[in-house]
Amino acid sequence: MKTEYFFRTLRNRCPRCNEGAVLGTLFHRHDKCSNCDLAFSREDGFFIGGIPISYGLICGLWIIPILVAWLLEWVPTDWMIGLSFCGAISLPLLTYRYSQCLWLGLYFTFAEHEMPIARKSE
């Protein structure tokens, strides 16, 4: 297991060379690394793995804190429902591409033998 691949994608860097960006913007993922030409998509449907990561981010960073605040009576029920609903609509859009980036890093962390060897520049 090579955790540096995950930490590179956590900072939006290519898992292989740590130079090129995986995401161009919050809503756009590059197809390959601008520095080492690593194709980010490994196969059709590869980035479906980003969906549970997005779900985990939203639950861990938004839904659970709101529920805890509601249980502690820091926010009224109306606010809890409204905030949860707004987060459920907007956060998947905001975390979708970044979750794919994290999935790429997790994939190579646990399957480092799948990492293609970089070609030497000619």
Report the interface residues with Zn ion, using CB under 5 A: 14, 16-17, 20, 33, 35-36, 38
Question: Closest separation between CB of residue 36 and Zn ion, Å?
Answer: 3
Rounded to the nearest whole angstrom, what is the least distance from the CB of residue 121 to Zn ion in the complex?
A: 12
The answer to whether 99 and 51 have CB atoms below 8 angstroms apart is: yes
Q: Which of residues 76 and 116 has its CB atom nearest to Zn ion in the complex?
A: 116
Query: How far is 101 from 74, CA to CA, in rounded Å?
Result: 34
Contact in structure between 62 and 91 (CB atoms under 8 Å) = yes
Residue closer to Zn ion by CB (options 38, 66) is: 38
DSSP-derived secondary structure letter, 113: G
Nearer to Zn ion, 10 or 64 (CB): 10
For the record, the structure tokens of 82 come out as: 């409204």
**Nearest distance from residue 93's CB to Zn ion, in Å?**
27
Sign of CA dihedral 48, 95, 53, 114: positive
Q: Which residues contact 31 (CB under 8 A, 6 or more apart)?
A: 39, 40, 41
Nearer CB in complex with Zn ion: 66/101: 101
Q: CB 15 → Zn ion: shortest distance, Å?
A: 8
